[in-house]
């Protein structure tokens, strides 16, 4: 494929070309090495693997705190994007 990059000045063309090169290299690396989900998805999924109850009420409270903490990054990213965090989290899970 041919990607044409243009700009008003030579400096602008070089800067745009560098951005395109970076994007191409990132894409190649993702294809060759694989990618991991971003946006807190891994943490959100990890929160599901933690059992909900502990041996006593203190452990159960601690588990709930850790689960909420694992869900927080994805929820905040969704909120920052103007989306309803609980809906986005539900779709991911």
pTM, two decimals, is 0.57
- The pLDDT assigned to 38 comes to 80
Which H, E and C letters describe the chain, residue by residue? CCCCCCCCCHHHHHHHHHHHHHHHHHHHHHHHHCCCCCCCHHHHHHHHHCCCCCCCHHHHHHHHHHHHHHHHHHHHHHHHCCCCHHHHHHHHC
- The pLDDT assigned to 29 comes to 87
- The pLDDT assigned to 70 comes to 94
What is the mean pLDDT of each successive set of 10 residues along the chain, which is 93 residues long? Answer: 90 96 91 78 90 89 94 90 87 82
- The pLDDT assigned to 62 comes to 94
């Amino acid at each position: 494929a041919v990607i044409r990059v243009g700009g008003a000045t030579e400096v602008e063309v070089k800067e745009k070309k560098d951005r395109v090169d970076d994007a191409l290299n990132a894409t190649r690396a993702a294809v060759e090495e694989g990618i991991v989900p971003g946006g807190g998805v891994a943490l959100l999924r990890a929160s599901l693997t933690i059992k909900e109850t502990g041996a006593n009420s203190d452990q159960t409270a601690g588990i709930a705190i850790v689960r909420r903490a694992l869900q927080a990054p994805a929820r905040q990213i969704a909120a920052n994007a103007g989306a309803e965090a609980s809906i986005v989290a539900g779709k991911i899970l």
